[in-house]
Amino acid sequence: MAQAAGEPVAGPRVEGDRLILPDTSSTTGEFQLREDARGITVAAAHVEQLTDYLDIAGRVAADPTRVVHVYPPVGGRLETVAVRPADRVVQGQVLAVLASSDVATALATYRQARADAQVKQQAVTRAQLLYEHNIIALRDYQQAQADAAASGAALESAAERLTLLGIDTTHSTDELTVRAPRAGVVTDVQGAAGEYTKSLDNASSLCTIADLSTVWAIGDVYEQDVASVRVGDSTDVTVRAYPNDHWRGRIAAISSTLDTATRTLKVRVVLRNADLRLKPDMFATIRVIHAIRTALVVPQVAVVREGTTAYVFVRTAVGRFARRSITLGRAADSNRVEVRAGLVAGDSVVVDGAELLRAVATPL
């Protein structure tokens, strides 16, 4: 910084192997260092490609169309529960076995309907023979046919009931086996052996199975950023659990309604998750990629910040430096920052010792 008028000028001092000289230059003038000054390192400002993007905070969620809440089709007492949370199951695998009087009733109904259908069919055969020999009237023959059709419908209904329960017509006990309707991961179990269940009347399901081979990344886009995202935009998704891994995807949908409390819209990205590393409710960052452009960058350590201003020290010749005000863009990463004005490619900026140059200056 410039020395104020009337203030004494401090003499040179040595700190370690660095020579510290008084700062009597202007804040923008060129200055030089003693030839034996040490601790100053420079690097060239250079041009590289940067990606314009928008980072959206979000979380991982299961695809609701791939989540199944399993309810036993009848009420009864749970004999066994064969799965635990985090178990992987395949379609048709046994989840639980329960004993139910509804099963016994359904079997009895089917057997009664089958017996009645057999009797009614035999009655039709006799009625046809009698009608052909003019022993009974047509009305009686038609009534026998109607009775047989009704008993056949009742038998079909009873058989369909057994099919819905997953019971074979030869089943001989009151036990019902509950099987997995699809492959996936068991995310929740709400039943235990010995409990009584009321079938579909239960407030909670017996268990929940989720197919996590495909998951969603759901983010909240602030109202002022809505114009920056579109369906189909490329995205790069990271999660806190695996900060060095990336999942590529595209925005599949944008909500049509705004959350009035947070002033955000929901965006959805569909991600493949064959190894099941992504878990529901993991925190995620959705980076929406807009464009790749050319920009001038310098190391972050080269930039000296004072309030809202920023500047660097540029080497103009051997041992000579000048302070240069710059306009910063966005950070390329934790080590580099974009410079939008104040430098050109090839300028040598101080990356080690910039802070010292505030006080290490001798006017030309």
pLDDT of residue 199: 63
Task: Give the tens place of pLDDT for each residue, 120-135.
Answer: 999 999 999 998 888 8
- Residue 332 confidence (pLDDT): 75
Domain with CATH 2.40.30.170 in the chain: 54-65+211-292
List, by residue range, all CATH 2.40.420.20 domains of the chain: 13-49+294-363
Is 70 exceeded by the pLDDT of residue 28? no
pLDDT at 74 over 50: yes
- Its pTM stands at 0.65
Q: Cα(71)–Cα(123) distance, rounded to whole angstroms?
A: 42
Where in the chain do CATH 1.10.287.470 domains reside? Answer: 74-81+95-179+190-204
What CATH number labels 13-49+294-363?
Answer: 2.40.420.20
Q: Is the dihedral of CA 184, 185, 189, 194 positive or negative?
A: positive
Q: Which two tokens stand for residue 337?
A: 């920052």
Among 23-32, 193-202, 213-222, which range has the highest average pLDDT? 213-222
Q: How far apart are the first and last CA of the chain?
A: 16
Average pLDDT of the chain is 84
Q: What whole-number distance in Å separates Cα of residue 226 and Cα of residue 247?
A: 22
74-81+95-179+190-204 is classed in which CATH architecture?
Orthogonal Bundle (1.10)
Q: Which of 11-15, 101-105, 312-316, 355-359 has the lowest mean pLDDT?
A: 11-15
pLDDT of 92 over the 90 cut: yes
Least confident residue range of 42-46, 120-124, 141-145: 42-46
Q: Is 54-65+211-292 CATH 2.30.30.40?
A: no
How far apart are alpha carbons 68 and 90 in whole angstroms?
13
